């Protein structure tokens, strides 16, 4: 098991380096951000990842004996441009919370935010935005405003409690 973990970490480092090089050469992402975000969240928060193509959630954790189902979204923030959106959040699937893993240009996690299902649902169903209502897409800033930063450490001054 130890050998597999070491091999996995080496492979992930190579994937990150290749993705960065690809972006530098082609000017576009390689498309591994979601997978990297899941791996970073699992490593940093001690989560158990589910099998690939699991409907609704990507990982689980245990809170006070209760299994919490988590969707994981990733976003590489290369610039401070406002309005950057995260991937689709499907309200029809079974999950308890969404984690947003923010990555730097080397695809290393810089922050992880969490928002509970009810806060996400309220934000996605609020009238006025086609992107939110029809596509299930929230901006990074909106996610931060309804969630709380859970890594590194809890930042009680940011966002609301979940």
Task: Go through the domains of the chain in sequence order and give each one's CATH number.
Answer: 33-151 (3.40.210.10)
* pLDDT(138) > 60: yes
3-class state of residue 139 by DSSP: strand
Which tokens sit at 108? 């290393």
Q: How far, in Å, CA of 150 to CA of 162, rounded? A: 11
Alpha-carbon 132 to chain mean position: 17
Top-confidence residue, 135 or 106: 106
Q: Please tell me the predicted confidence (pLDDT) of residue 132.
A: 63
* pLDDT(115) > 90: yes
* pLDDT(61) > 60: yes
Q: pTM for the complete prediction?
A: 0.88
User: How distant, in Å, are the alpha carbons of 28, 32, 95 from that of 78?
Assistant: 11, 15, 29
Which secondary structure element, helix H or strand E, spans residue 19, and what is its range? helix 2-26
Rounded percentage of the chain residues whose pLDDT exceeds 70: 88
Q: Please tell me the predicted confidence (pLDDT) of residue 159.
A: 44
User: How distant, in Å, are the alpha carbons of 5, 20, 76 from that of 11?
Assistant: 10, 14, 19
Average pLDDT over every residue of 37-43: 96
Q: What is the mean pLDDT of the chain?
A: 89
Q: Please tell me the predicted confidence (pLDDT) of residue 105.
A: 93
* pLDDT(160) > 70: no
Which tokens sit at 106? 């080397």
φ/ψ bin of 72: left (φ > 0), alpha (ψ from -120 to 50), beta (otherwise): beta
Grade residue 41 by pLDDT with cuts at 50, 70 and 90.
very high
Alpha-carbon 58 to chain mean position: 10
Q: Please list, in sequence order, all residues whose beta carbon lies within 8 angstroms of the beta carbon of residue 148, skipping any fewer than 6 positions away.
A: 113, 114, 115, 154, 155, 156, 158, 159, 160, 161, 162
* pLDDT(155) > 60: no
Average pLDDT over every residue of 68-94: 90
């Amino acid at each position: 098991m130890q050998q597999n973990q070491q091999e996995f970490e080496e492979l992930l480092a190579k994937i990150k380096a290749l993705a960065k090089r690809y972006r530098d050469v082609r000017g576009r992402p390689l498309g591994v951000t979601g997978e990297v975000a899941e791996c970073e969240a699992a490593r940093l928060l001690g989560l158990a990842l589910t099998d690939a193509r699991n409907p609704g959630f990507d990982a689980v954790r245990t809170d006070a004996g209760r299994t919490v189902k988590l969707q994981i979204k990733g976003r590489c923030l290369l610039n401070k441009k406002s309005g950057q959106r995260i991937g689709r959040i499907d309200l029809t699937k079974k999950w308890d919370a969404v984690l947003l893993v923010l990555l730097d240009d080397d695809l290393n996690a810089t922050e992880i935010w969490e928002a509970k299902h009810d806060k996400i649902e309220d934000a996605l169903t609020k009238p006025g935005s086609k992107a939110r209502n029809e596509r299930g897409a929230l901006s990074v800033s909106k996610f931060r405003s309804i969630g709380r930063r859970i890594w590194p450490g809890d930042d009680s001054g940011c966002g609301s409690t979940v």
